[in-house]
Structure 1
Amino acid sequence: MNTAIYQPFKSFDFKNQLCFLSGESPVEPSRVLPEWLIKMANLTGDEQIKLLDESIRTYQSLTVPTSPQVYANFISPLENKIAAAFEKGYAGLANLEDVDLFNWIGKLMYSFLYIEMQGAIRLNQLSGDGMNMSQGLMHKFGNLHTMLQGIYKPVVFEEFTPWSIIIVPLAETNTAFSFRDEINTLTFSLKFKDFGIIACLQDNGTNKRYHHEILESINDTKLSEQQFEEIAARFFYSAYLFNRLPEYNIMPAHGTIYIDAMPLKGTQNKALFDVWAHKTYAQVLENFWKPWGHTLFEIIKDPSAPLSYFNDPHLPTHLRFLENEG
């Protein structure tokens, strides 16, 4: 039995010839943004998105090469499960297994990454073997891809969770569909209908613990869109401050991939996050609050207390965040 794990970052395989997920052939193009989501969000598919190479693409033109068998037997059932949850709104998402949401968001982000890689190679920003790409990023993206093998084969996370995922109810029940992602930090947010999702895909749950005070104060409170974007901004900023590259022991055996996390603390006697700076956070927040027209000056008028839509914002007040267990 071939127990080897398909590792596209070893061969830097982004040529549309092998399945983006399994490495199998033949392949057919499958949409990055699924048809069910386009229809549910009342979109046409002609909406545009700008990629990192400055090219403009429509939602429906974004595709990745996929094995028909993998798509029919594994990706399609996952899409159906997520679609059913989205249809029910927050109640459906709240009953969804985190691992299903992780696989779906991870597949979405990795698909975008696959397309971005092609653009970078085309513009000679990356060599065909990835030699001028950060080794840390290649390592991180490769680990995510290995974890996503769980879509079509058994993957066991040994007594740890590689992600931070939060799902919150929104006060507005007809929120328009929108999402944002940050590939370098593998951070993602999405709002739609009566729910919002925020995910950090490879932090071993650390960002969720970092923001535990505001999350505990929210509980099941329905958030305004401004409040949701404020929480999302905090996660995107803290993911940037997160200064560890998680390491994993990966062991394939008898058709299953076992993944064990190494302690994040390691041998470094320093905080897991760099120092939180309100001014930098305010710049992030300004971008997330663009629809409401808040200026940076308004947000940071009081340098010690940035503008917040929460009565008690629970912003980080300490400069260190250490975990003994990693």
Structure 2
Amino acid sequence: MTRLALTFLLASSVAVSPLAAATANNADSQTIEYRKQWHSDVLTGYQNLATQGQALSSQAASYCQAPSPEGLEQTKQAWLEAFLAWQQVRFVDFGPVEQGNRAWQFQFWPDPKNLVARKASYLLKDEAPITPEKVSESGVAVQGFPMAEYLLYDQAFANGEEALPAGRSCKLLVAVTRHIADNGQSLANDWQGFQSNYLGSDQYTDTTIRSAMAGLEILEERRLATPMGLRGNGKRSVYSADAWRSEASLAAMGASVQGLKQSFLPAFSKLLTDRKQPDLAEQIAQQFDEVLANFPELDRPMAPLLADDNGYKLLQSLYIDITQLTSLVNDRAAVELGVVRGFNSSDGD
């Protein structure tokens, strides 16, 4: 049974661990210190997302006001930087990011029915004006990075009559990137306002650990194993990966691991050390470095690696390293801390 399958069997049996034994009104002073660091580190990540989202929105508007090939490339780069900033905080699946399906607003994925492309086609052919309000009411498939990615990178779209900088396409790009920027800023503000609740309830210690566990499971099972043909129908397919249009699937994985290392690992290592597991804390830190050592070699398109057996070996090496990291965190550390993995809404279903 895969680790992800086990997740669903545990969905109805989430236990209260020793770490969450204190009541919300009597938070343990030691666990508050871990949450203080987590809150601060995640806030830094959210603020970076807000900054990069604003830069993307401004660049998209500038490009559409005065289109040029150079401006298009600058807009693609701004998209990538903002998208990678989202990847770094993507593992956080609780708190303000749950409100209004915010995580799905940032990234509608998986998209097996190619709803992003279908929604884009509908909006571009519709006669209704494309406005921020139209984007807000059109659903999560329209509102985030995949829609902007489609407009900027999709090859079939780029060769069609509606390719950028066509008027309606530019209006959609500007409205979508504005939505991303506003969403990023409101998320950073709301996380800052969430501080007292987060620090005041010991349940959020386990919740934070579970969010990292879920992020690693999704990375291992869905974002890497599935396109490699190790899950699902057993066939290699880049279309099972996220960000395949921009060829940023692997770069996004690297950013997610880097984000976990920056925003989750420091407090987690201290927690393990305080629970008399310093060797395990060191092993996990070293395994994070092992995973990241696969980059920047793997900061390249996934499709050619899937098609070539020698290239595929690079993906296998990455997969082994991520599997080992997931096992250390989700199996060994979770057992030591008494944290039971439960269902979470960001599993992609």
TM-score band w.r.t. shorter chain: under 0.3
Bigger helix fraction: 2
- TM-score, with length taken from structure 1: 0.25
Greater fraction strand: 1
Structure with more contact order per residue of length (Cα contacts < 8 Å, sep ≥ 6): 2
